């Protein structure tokens, strides 16, 4: 599967539970929508993913990527109810950074 470099970096940092590297994949004013909440800016995204890493220990295993729509389907496994499950990650990327990410079931 051929993923954009920034998505490869996001997956790697998630699987290493590296919240700083994860947040570095995003533009300064990026938006993330997950579990009904929006997180705005790199600092808030880092806080969100750090808490998520501690609470759920979720890892990502990419299973499909739609290049035209910039949607990654990945199996997510961790310490949360229903694990593992497949989620879709809808990306908007500009200048090598993630501008928007929406996570859906």
Query: pLDDT digit of tens for each residue in the chain (105 aa)?
Result: 899 999 999 999 999 999 999 999 999 999 999 999 999 999 999 999 999 999 999 999 999 999 999 999 999 999 999 999 999 999 999 999 999 999 999
pLDDT of residue 1: 86
Parent domain of 93 = 5-104
When divided into structural domains, the chain yields a total of 1
CATH code for the domain in which residue 17 is found: 3.10.450.50
pLDDT of residue 62: 98
How far, in Å, are 1, 80, 103 from residue 32 at the CA level? 24, 20, 8
Q: Are 76 and 91 in contact (CB under 8 A)?
A: no
């Amino acid at each position: 599967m051929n993923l954009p470099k920034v998505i490869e970096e996001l997956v790697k940092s998630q699987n290493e539970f590296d919240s700083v590297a994860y947040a570095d994949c995003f533009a300064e004013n990026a938006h993330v929508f997950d579990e009904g909440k929006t997180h705005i800016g790199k600092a808030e995204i880092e806080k969100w993913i750090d808490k998520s890493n501690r609470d759920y220990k979720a890892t990502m295993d990419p299973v499909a990527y739609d290049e035209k729509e910039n949607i990654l389907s990945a199996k997510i496994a961790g310490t949360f109810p229903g694990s593992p499950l497949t989620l879709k990650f809808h990306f908007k990327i500009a200048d090598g950074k993630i501008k928007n990410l929406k996570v859906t079931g």
